[in-house]
């Protein structure tokens, strides 16, 4: 069964940076056929879309709350997606999930409904 695996979560002070990594070792040669997304969920809150990237990286979306602070990139040869998070804020504290979609990336990506494969998540905690 295909899955994605997140790593890189940690405890960091406000203003600091982290880079999350998502690997897809079982996607083999067709990883480039999948759009990828990062989502997060804080305790007591609904899941929200953070960033997404199309098959070849030509289209990228960000949630308004992370624009100009977070950067999503992908390396299709390594079957890996990254989320560089700078100037972190306490409100960024959440469990972050990576997900893959084998459909086109649309403006409605944030609800996550199009994403079929999900990881177990990695915890990011930002202290004030």
Of the pLDDT bands very low, low, confident and very high (cuts 50, 70, 90), residue 30 is confident
Distance of alpha carbon 43 from alpha carbon 74, whole angstroms: 28
pLDDT 10s digits, 73-119: 999 999 999 999 999 999 999 999 999 999 888 888 999 999 999 99
Q: What pLDDT sits at residue 29?
A: 63
Of the pLDDT bands very low, low, confident and very high (cuts 50, 70, 90), residue 58 is very high
Instruction: Give me the chain's average pLDDT, please.
Output: 94
Nearest Cα residue to 99 out of 67, 63, 62, 51: 51
Residue 127, CA distances (Å) to 63, 70, 103 in order: 21, 18, 37
Q: Cα 78 to chain center, whole Å? A: 16
Q: What pLDDT sits at residue 103?
A: 87
């Amino acid at each position: 069964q295909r899955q994605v695996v997140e790593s890189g979560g940690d405890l960091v002070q406000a203003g600091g940076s982290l880079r999350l990594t998502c690997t897809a070792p079982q996607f083999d040669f067709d990883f480039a056929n999948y759009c990828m997304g990062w989502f997060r969920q804080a305790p007591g809150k609904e899941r929200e879309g953070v960033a997404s990237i199309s098959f070849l990286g030509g289209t990228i979306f960000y949630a308004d709350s992370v624009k100009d602070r977070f950067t999503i990139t992908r390396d299709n040869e390594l079957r890996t997606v990254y989320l560089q998070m700078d100037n972190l804020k306490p409100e960024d504290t959440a469990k972050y999930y990576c997900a893959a979609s084998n459909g086109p990336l649309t403006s409605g990506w944030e609800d996550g409904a199009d994403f079929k494969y999900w990881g177990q998540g990695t915890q990011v905690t930002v202290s004030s």
